[in-house]
Structure 1
Amino acid sequence: MTREVPAGTAVPPLHAWKPRALYIHIPFCTNKCFYCDFNSYVAEGQPIDAYLDALEREMERTVAAIPPERIETVFVGGGTPTVLNPAQMARFLASVRRHFPLAPDAEYTMEANPGTTDPAKLDAMREGGVNRISFGAQTFDNGLLKTIGRIHEADDVVRSVANAKAAGFANLSIDLMFGLPNQKLHHLQDSVSRALELDLPHYSLYSLKVEENTLFHRLYERGELPLPEEEEEIAMYEHLIERLTGAGYGHYEISNFARPGRESRHNTVYWRNEPYYGLGAGAHGYALGRRHMNIKGVLPYIGAAQERLPRLETLEVSPEEAKEDFMMVGLRLLSGVRGADFRNQFGPGERLGERFEAPLARLTEQNLLERTPDGEGYRLTRQGVMLGNEVFGAFLS
């Protein structure tokens, strides 16, 4: 959703842009997966209706503080937003429409766990404006699903996708993970084959990261987490690239593959370092030169939202920091970063190649970056894709 400015038009600085993207966090889920460090809580016994009340109060205060012009993408994440029952779902989605002006062609994504989207819930989602669903499949191996703490089985993924298609959803995605405990290359090969049989427009493929405050981290610290060797994990990633691109999917971001025109418009806002609203417990937002993080706990969030915007912290982002962010997240896209986008965000006199001359020269010499076809941008080489974190870190001052 790169903001295009006609030639000759005065360009307001990035810090003056109003967000056209909206993220909303529903922190409830059916259970806590062993690898998950997201701000999520088991739904049983939680004050879900009171949370939705608080969320609407945050919406009211947010649009009063930064009145929206037009919202082009919405992403509802979690947690598992589809733990809401149909009535709660309808109520929540109606509140979004009341407060935010959605573009007619807005991309409206909701995360879902397989097995949590019955026909009544899917109907409520469709009626409320959702037009894209991202299912957390993770693997099609039932043994590995148990190992990572998932409560669905592989067949639930197939049924959930079929139900979503029957309900009229055409824009669907699933997540797969690799580098899981005891996972072998043949496990991944089978999961990719089963995923491709679903013939979806989008796939996200992530390597396991062992995060603090998770069961997996505690096991890792005790030497009880049997992770694949680095060479096998690299082979898994290479296999994913080969299979997905061979099936006609564009490898448009390090972890994402899509049919033409089905790339995630919302996530591209993040990768282009453009502003977005962030609402809900623990949500992050970026607008008018400030990044914020909301209070995480459900009850503290509800209490704070009664009185004010429920912020945990708000940080000013300097233009120099924003430029570094532009490079670090923008280079995740296989199309790379464009000089025109850099000028569009930071001013007509700004030159990407001049601002980052030293790291760009070094990374190009190391064959981790190359020039884009227009000659004024940069993108990862194949070797750079495999060593992405090394590339991104080079732009931190």
Structure 2
Amino acid sequence: MNLELDNLDIIGRHTPDPLRFAFEKKKGAHAGGVAKPVSPDLVQSTLTSAFSGSGEKTPRCLYIHIPFCRVRCTYCNFFQYASSSQLIDRYFAALKKELLWKASMPWSQDYPFQAVYIGGGTPTDLSAEQIKELAQLVRRHFPLTPDCEFTLEGRINRFDDQKFESALEGGINRFSFGVQSFDTKVRRSAKRLNDGDEVLERLQHFVSYNSAPIVIDLLYGLPHQTLDTWANDLELYLESGANGVDLYQLIEMQNLPMGRLVAQGKLPEPANTQTKASMFQMGVEFMAKHHQTRLSVNHWSSGNRERSIYNSLAKTSAQVMPLGAGAGGTVNGISSMQYRDMDKYIAAGEANEFAAAMAFHRSPNAHIESIIKAAFDRGVLSANALPKGMFERLQPLFQAWKKNGLVELSSGYLSLTLAGQFWSVTLAQNLIQVVSSNQAQPHNKKITQAA
């Protein structure tokens, strides 16, 4: 097995400070494998076949995309359309049509869904009536497990009590708010609406309902965000009473508003990798000090109500049915990304066609890739989870990572150190690359990266 042990991009640097210097920077938001594109003229028939069969009895999730935002955040790569009631109404009608159409297919009814996630964009820009109707349609037309986690993502801005209560009435049982920071200066520079104290007050208000878990995202590495402001963000998470928190690092992507503003001298540089590593360490130590339960390398809960089912499944092993413009997912071994363009999305629905801009056949190593992604998201890989003998064949690579301070090895388990947790996506991507290169199928001549 070629483990690329002379490749520093794979094994990392040998340094006294692997947390900050093992690699140059994080490779991406998520680890991914290789997939073979479906010929454009076969996309419709391939997806029809995928949805017509019963498929594997593996975890299933439903993802619904709402591609509207009132304002584009400076760091966001997902912005599609500015919110307007007329455009949202037009989109919502098309989304309901797609929902009912896909719900009627054999695959959709064959096995229950463990999690539903309404994301965006800003789903809370829907009206109270639309939020309730969308949730009710899902519950009425899809088989859901009795304990199905049903999440509505959004922001505090203009999410009033009527919308919150309508969501609860529709069957939403989890709310995820993208706070990013409680510091008003940091928030304003990132084009986040509402001052930090208002965000805190509204979160505490929603928590006081005691009707569903309230979870927040905090982002570290933003312009104007110092170690002190980050420490205060962590304290305010506790003060908010939220049931859980995700700590995400800012990923520097090209052609985003933030990059242009920095180049123009209108924003200071965001934090470098070393500072973000320090922020990650602060977050991990803070959560341990305050006895928060760790659900993954980036997610914690404050009690037993938060489960983070969708995040743990969708990033790793689950099949995910996509609904809406810009949504992506995998059904019966076929991955697809739906049109981001509103007119193309609506036209596909009117023609009773899949709104897929592209589709891919599952990688031959998809099962192993899912095991790796799930393990590194949890922070531990078991020898028993991999095909027989693979853990042993990978030992030279694992030993190199151990020497570089990224992992520990004990009794058939590889566990990530603090440094390894910070670089977990990079390590998972590297392991997938090594496994894929050693098990590559010679007939797969054309491959592409798939998230």
Give me the TM-score of the superposition, normalised by structure 2: 0.76
Q: What 5-or-longer segments of structure 2 have no aligned partner?
A: 1-54, 438-451
- After TM superposition, the structure 1 = structure 2 runs for residues 264-303 of structure 1, keeping only pairs within 5 Å, are 264-303=308-347
Aligned equivalent of 2:13: none
Distance 1:322 1:313 in 2: 22
Aligned equivalent of 1:346: none
Aligned letter for 2:197?
D
Aligned equivalent of 1:205: 247
Aligned letter for 1:286?
T
Aligned equivalent of 1:253: 296
C-alpha offsets along residues 48-107 of structure 1, whole Å, 9 cap, x if unaligned? 122122212222332315223212211111111111111121222222123212222211
- After TM superposition, the structure 1 = structure 2 runs for residues 298-309 of structure 1, keeping only pairs within 5 Å, are 298-307=342-351, 308-309=353-354
Q: Is the partner of 1:57 in helix, strand or coil?
A: helix
Displacement of 1:276 in angstroms is 1.7
Aligned letter for 1:232?
T
Distance 2:238 2:245 in 1: 9
Aligned equivalent of 1:136: 178
Displacement of 1:321 in angstroms is 4.2
Given that 2:182 and 2:200 are in contact with CA atoms closer than 8 Å, whether structure 1 keeps it comes out as no
- After TM superposition, the structure 1 = structure 2 runs for residues 372-391 of structure 1, keeping only pairs within 5 Å, are 375-391=411-427
Q: Is the partner of 1:90 in helix, strand or coil?
A: helix
Aligned letter for 1:88?
Q
Given that 2:204 and 2:242 are in contact with CA atoms closer than 8 Å, whether structure 1 keeps it comes out as no
C-alpha offsets along residues 232-290 of structure 1, whole Å, 9 cap, x if unaligned? 32222211111122111123322211235423011110243221212111111112112
Aligned letter for 2:300?
F
Aligned equivalent of 1:394: 430
- After TM superposition, the structure 1 = structure 2 runs for residues 305-324 of structure 1, keeping only pairs within 5 Å, are 305-307=349-351, 308-324=353-369
Distance 1:48 1:394 in 2: 41
Distance 1:246 1:169 in 2: 27
Aligned letter for 1:161?
L
Q: Is the partner of 2:204 in helix, strand or coil?
A: helix
Aligned equivalent of 1:8: none
Aligned equivalent of 2:17: none
- After TM superposition, the structure 1 = structure 2 runs for residues 234-253 of structure 1, keeping only pairs within 5 Å, are 234-253=277-296
C-alpha offsets along residues 171-210 of structure 1, whole Å, 9 cap, x if unaligned? 1111111111122111111221122112222011111122
Aligned equivalent of 2:21: none
Q: Aligned pair in 2 of structure 1 residues 107, 321: CA closer, same or farther (>3 Å)?
A: closer
The answer to whether structure 1 residue 152 and structure 2 residue 194 are counterparts is: yes
Aligned equivalent of 2:220: 178
Q: Aligned pair in 2 of structure 1 residues 147, 195: CA closer, same or farther (>3 Å)?
A: same
Displacement of 1:164 in angstroms is 1.8
C-alpha offsets along residues 338-366 of structure 1, whole Å, 9 cap, x if unaligned? 45554xxxxxx655515745533432443
The answer to whether structure 1 residue 80 and structure 2 residue 122 are counterparts is: yes
The answer to whether structure 1 residue 330 and structure 2 residue 375 are counterparts is: yes
Aligned letter for 1:317?
R
Q: Is the partner of 1:379 in helix, strand or coil?
A: strand
Aligned length: 375
Distance 1:178 1:37 in 2: 17
Q: Aligned pair in 2 of structure 1 residues 59, 235: CA closer, same or farther (>3 Å)?
A: same
Q: Is the partner of 2:319 in helix, strand or coil?
A: coil
Q: Aligned pair in 2 of structure 1 residues 309, 341: CA closer, same or farther (>3 Å)?
A: farther
C-alpha offsets along residues 125-145 of structure 1, whole Å, 9 cap, x if unaligned? 001111111111111111111
Aligned equivalent of 1:66: 107
Structure with more contact order per residue of length (Cα contacts < 8 Å, sep ≥ 6): 2
Given that 1:17 and 1:287 are in contact with CA atoms closer than 8 Å, whether structure 2 keeps it comes out as no
Q: Is the partner of 2:75 in helix, strand or coil?
A: coil
Given that 2:59 and 2:114 are in contact with CA atoms closer than 8 Å, whether structure 1 keeps it comes out as no
Displacement of 1:45 in angstroms is 5.6
Match of 1:107 among 130, 146, 149: 149
Distance 1:218 1:88 in 2: 36
Given that 2:128 and 2:162 are in contact with CA atoms closer than 8 Å, whether structure 1 keeps it comes out as yes
Q: What 5-or-longer segments of structure 1 have no aligned partner?
A: 1-14, 343-348
Aligned letter for 2:430?
A
Q: Is the partner of 2:377 in helix, strand or coil?
A: coil
Aligned letter for 2:416?
L
Percent identity between the two aligned chains:
28
Aligned letter for 2:341?
G
Aligned equivalent of 1:370: 408
Q: Aligned pair in 2 of structure 1 residues 324, 221: CA closer, same or farther (>3 Å)?
A: farther
Aligned letter for 1:243?
F
Given that 1:175 and 1:205 are in contact with CA atoms closer than 8 Å, whether structure 2 keeps it comes out as yes
Q: Aligned pair in 2 of structure 1 residues 387, 89: CA closer, same or farther (>3 Å)?
A: closer
Q: Aligned pair in 2 of structure 1 residues 45, 249: CA closer, same or farther (>3 Å)?
A: same
Aligned letter for 2:308?
S
Q: Aligned pair in 2 of structure 1 residues 162, 196: CA closer, same or farther (>3 Å)?
A: closer
Given that 1:25 and 1:279 are in contact with CA atoms closer than 8 Å, whether structure 2 keeps it comes out as yes
Aligned letter for 1:254?
V
Match of 1:38 among 75, 78, 82: 78
